[in-house]
Amino acid sequence: MTKADIVNEISKNTGIEKVTVQKTVEAFMETIKGNLVRGKNVYLRGFGSFVTKKRAEKTARNISKNTTIIIPEHFIPSFKPSKSFVTKVKNNVK
C-alpha cells in the first residue's frame, strides 16, 4: 500500500476531499519526522511508538579498498508496534 492508496482509502471512508486528506497525511508524517529529529519519541496508543535508537561506534571494512573505517555513533528511527496491533496482525495474516 502506498501513500496515495492510504489517501484514497481515508477519503473514501470519511468523505473528506483527497487534497485535504493528503495535506493531513503529509503534516502527520512531517510532525513525526520533526519530533524524531529533535530527539523526541512519538507514542500512538493502540498503534505503536516511533522512537530513535542509538547505534554505538563500530569498526567496519571497506572491501573494495581493503581498509578499516570507523562508523561513528549515530541514531536511527525505529517503529515498535503496540501489543494489540501485533496480536491483530498475528491472528489475521494468512
What is the value of pTM for the model shown? 0.77
Indicate the Cα dihedral angle 87, 90, 92, 93, nearest 10°. Answer: 150
11 close to 21: Cβ distance less than 8 angstroms: yes
| Phi, psi angle pair for 19, to nearest 5° | -60, -45
Q: Which amino acid is at 33?
A: K
DSSP 3-state of 36:
helix
pLDDT at 93 over 80: no
pLDDT of 45 higher than 70? yes
Phi, psi for residue 4 in degrees, rounded to 5: -65, -40
Q: Report domain extents, the chain.
A: 1-40, 41-86
> What is the CATH superfamily name and number for domain 41-86?
IHF-like DNA-binding proteins (4.10.520.10)
Is the confidence at residue 92, as pLDDT, over 90?
A: no
